[in-house]
Structure 1
Amino acid sequence: MEDRELLALVELGGYPNFVPLYQQSGYRVEMVNSVRKAQAWLKRHRPEVVVAEYYADPQFRDRISNLESLLATLQRYDLAAKVIVLIDKKYLDNLEKVKQRYPLHAVLTFPIETTSMQAALEGIQDVG
């Protein structure tokens, strides 16, 4: 149980600190605040779960969002992590394009409730 890792990518925040919930669910938690840091961490770790915020930025030239680089990294290292995405409802249409290319375990819309995060984590334990 101890070797189960969860990577939490918190770039914007604005929701409860779920670290205690992650730990109660049996995960060792790594928190990073940028996709670059997440990518560096993923070179050395194989998390069971990745929790990441989704946001779109018109400055992105070759992608829709911050999430694609992270998901591409998971794919490159052949990591089977379950991805939980935290997203503002206004970006749900954009996320559909991402979902066509990358598997997502759960999508939670703001405001994010502890109960919905807990349900997403329990869904992983039921599967795995």
Structure 2
Amino acid sequence: MEDQELLAVVELGGYPNFIPLYQRLNFKVEMVNSVRKAQSWLKKHRPQVVVAEFYSDPQFRDRMSNLESLLATLQRYDIEAGVVVLIDAKYLQRLEEVKSRYAVHGVLTFPVDEQAMQTALESI
């Protein structure tokens, strides 16, 4: 079976390295450290799964989070990836606003453990 692609967008980190888990689940992993790099990669790839962090910054002028640009890119290229969002619980309300416009498969709040991630990925 050909490996499925998984795009991991790690901008802040502070949680376990899930690459070994992704590989055990037969994903070919691409890890980038910014939404901009993810957008560039998505021009040529159609991942089955995208794992990305959510954070909000008052300096964002035209959006409320880093995630919106990534989700808009998936929509623009008609990529039907399962999106798993890693988030600090204090941002959950803001994520609900984003979810009203974009599809999100799973939401994992920090601290994220390997079993929760595996369960989210297996349900896609």
Normalised-by-shorter TM-score class: over 0.9
List per-residue Cα deviations over 1:69-109 (Å, max 9, x = no partner).
00000000000000000000000000000000011110000
1:102 aligns with 2:98: no
**SS of equivalent residue, structure 1 residue 47:** coil
Gaps of 5+ in 2: none
Q: Distance between the aligned counterparts of 1:118 and 1:35, measured in 2?
A: 23
Gaps of 5+ in 1: none
- Identity over aligned residues, as a percent? 73
Shift of 1:3: 3.8
- Identify the residue that residue 38 of structure 1 maps to in structure 2: 38
Q: Distance between the aligned counterparts of 1:26 and 1:59, measured in 2?
A: 38
Shift of 1:53: 0.2
Hey, which of these two has a bigger chunk of helix by percent? Answer: 1
- What is the RMSD computed on CA atoms of the aligned residues? 0.6
Q: Distance between the aligned counterparts of 2:2 and 2:20, measured in 1?
A: 15
The runs of at least 4 aligned residues of structure 1 exceeding 6 Å deviation read none
Number of residue pairs matched by the alignment: 124
- TM-score scaled by structure 2? 0.98
Q: Distance between the aligned counterparts of 2:99 and 2:105, measured in 1?
A: 10
